[in-house]
């Protein structure tokens, strides 16, 4: 399929990729284009900013979770209907596994999807040195895919000089200078320990992005950017093995296609969730019902399972503790056998207590023994290949699923059911707890990499649903007597 697309890639983290991606999306929207947004890598927060601009889901393109056909399938499926798609890179363009490989880098995504790349360079404090910097990135790989450069945080008076110098020396490389973005202090996005703050925490975010989009529409070569997007080769349309497997497994479940309602935590404390994971669950008959452990007092009616994703429970521990009714409802449901998938923040919520950054201990749901506490540093960071070390309800011994870890809080009881093998090959640790029908731990899982886990979760939910129906029927007959 023909899908106009470009990637904004950075020289390093902090080069302004997210801000410029949002600004470009807004500029395209202001000009009447339907834009699609994608994020390279496992990031949850940057896609939230894309969503805030476009008011539609952004999709992760992660080459550790997905092979080339799967990356192209996701891009083509999610991007269909868009006039142009914008992919935001991750870290530095060539930064991949373990910091020593370009495997799982933005470069790999660009290469596998044949996406033209525009390099975003933070120009603050630089002038002529910008040229060899861009040239070096373009020449580092013969298939770098870099077709243009945007200079970020550049003075408007300096830009014409740098542009002429860069065009003279880079035109032979096939690289166009596609504009600059001036330093705009009132459009900066603040950050915290897991990256940027959440979009809803940024005051006047929509107005900031609208202003940025208007500025970028004037300072960027929008026609040149669209030409670069149009130059993208057609996407190969091949059904990926991961999707084929999902469909085979879903076909086996057709004997029972009635929807099964799954409570999905979604609020400021629990917000790290891949839309693709919900798609996988839906293929097996799940119907997500969103609720807030912060605000709601009861679980949604008629649910037969719980999905507690990651987020920032440590920032809202006091309010989670104060919602005793919800903590009790979660505890009662899970102790009675309701299935639950809980990762990172959700895992912390299920434990007995959670310590905040200032050392205060807050009561959590108390379903699992253990205490969450601040480690004072990034803990077990990076991609992992999770293998079941023993037979359990979710994976057979030896089966694997892929995921990643990124957290500053740790637990006194991390579990032993899975082995988390570092993608870089540098060792492994034990993790994950499987108790009753609960599977909980710090790793964020990607269900397309092992749809059998999602299938078994939904089967357990159906078992629970039947048990509750039988118990309710028995109670009703007793009352009638």
User: Is 289 buried (19+), middle (13-18) or exposed (0-12) by CB count in 10 A?
Assistant: middle
Give the Cα separation of 147 and 329 in Å (integer). Answer: 55
Give the Cα separation of 391 and 5 in Å (integer). Answer: 44
**Catalytic residue among 344, 362, 431, 461, which?**
344
Give the Cα separation of 22 and 54 in Å (integer). Answer: 9
* CB contact at 8 A, 82 and 36: yes
**Bridge-partner residues for 86, per DSSP?**
6, 37
Residue 32: HSE in the Cβ half-sphere, 13 Å Cα cutoff: 0
Give the Cα separation of 126 and 132 in Å (integer). Answer: 11
Please spell the DSSP secondary structure of 300-359, one letter per residue.
PTT--EEEE-EE-GGGSHHHHHH-HHHHHHHHHHHHTT--EEEETHHHHHHSSEEE-TTS
Query: Which structure tokens are listed for 153?
Result: 């945080």
* CB contact at 8 A, 447 and 281: yes
* CB contact at 8 A, 432 and 386: yes
* CB contact at 8 A, 217 and 423: no
**Bridge-partner residues for 83, per DSSP?**
none
Residue 264 DSSP label: E
Give the Cα separation of 353 and 181 in Å (integer). Answer: 46
Nearest Cα to 17, choosing from 54, 35, 43? Answer: 43
Residue 415 DSSP label: B
* CB contact at 8 A, 397 and 391: yes
Is 59 labeled as catalytic in the residue annotation? Answer: no
Active site residues: 344
């Amino acid at each position: 399929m023909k899908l106009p697309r470009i990637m904004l890639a950075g020289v390093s983290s902090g080069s302004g990729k997210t801000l410029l991606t949002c600004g470009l999306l807004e500029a395209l929207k202001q000009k009447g284009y339907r834009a699609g947004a994608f994020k390279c890598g496992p990031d949850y927060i940057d896609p939230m900013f894309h969503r805030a601009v476009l008011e539609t889901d952004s999709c992760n393109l992660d080459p550790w979770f997905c092979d080339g056909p799967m990356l192209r399938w996701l891009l083509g499926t999610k991007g269909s209907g868009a006039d142009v798609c914008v992919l935001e890179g991750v870290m530095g363009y060539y930064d991949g596994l373990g910091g020593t490989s370009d495997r799982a880098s933005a470069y790999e995504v660009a290469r596998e999807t044949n996406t033209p790349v525009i390099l975003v360079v933070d120009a603050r404090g630089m002038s002529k040195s910008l040229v060899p910097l861009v040239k070096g990135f373009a020449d580092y790989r013969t298939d770098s895919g870099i077709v243009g450069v945007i200079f970020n945080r550049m003075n408007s008076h300096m830009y014409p000089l740098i542009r002429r110098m860069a065009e003279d020396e880079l035109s032979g490389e096939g690289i166009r200078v596609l504009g600059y973005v001036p330093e705009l202090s009132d459009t900066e996005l603040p950050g915290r320990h897991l990256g940027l703050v959440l979009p809803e925490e940024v005051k006047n975010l929509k107005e900031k992005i609208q202003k940025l989009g208007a500025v970028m529409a004037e300072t960027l070569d929008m026609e040149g950017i669209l030409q670069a997007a149009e130059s993208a080769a057609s996407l190969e349309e091949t059904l990926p093995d991961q999707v084929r497997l999902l469909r085979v497994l879903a076909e086996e479940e057709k004997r029972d296609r009635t929807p099964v309602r799954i409570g999905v935590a979604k609020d400021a404390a629990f917000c790290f969730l891949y839309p693709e994971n919900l798609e996988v669950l839906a293929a097996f008959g799940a119907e997500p019902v969103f609720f807030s452990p912060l605000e709601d007092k009861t679980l949604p009616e008629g649910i037969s399972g719980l999905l507690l994703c990651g987020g920032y429970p440590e920032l809202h521990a006091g309010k989670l503790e104060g919602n005793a009714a919800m903590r009790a409802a979660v505890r009662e449901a899970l102790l009675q056998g309701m299935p639950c998938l809980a990762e990172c923040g959700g895992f912390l919520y299920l434990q007995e207590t959670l310590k905040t950054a200032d050392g205060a201990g807050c009561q959590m749901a108390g379903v699992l023994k253990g205490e969450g506490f601040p480690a004072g540093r990034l803990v077990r960071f990076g991609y992992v290949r999770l293998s079941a070390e023993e037979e359990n309800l979710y994976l057979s011994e030896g089966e694997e699923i892929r995921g990643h870890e990124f957290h500053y809080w740790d637990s006194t009881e991390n579990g032993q059911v899975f082995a988390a093998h570092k993608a870089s090959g540098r060792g492994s640790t034990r993790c994950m707890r499987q108790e009753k029908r609960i599977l909980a731990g710090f790793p964020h899982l990607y269900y397309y990499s092992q749809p059998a886990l999602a299938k078994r979760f939904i089967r357990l939910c159906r078992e629970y649903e039947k048990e509750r129906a039988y118990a309710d029927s028995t109670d009703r007959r007793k009352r009638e007597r």
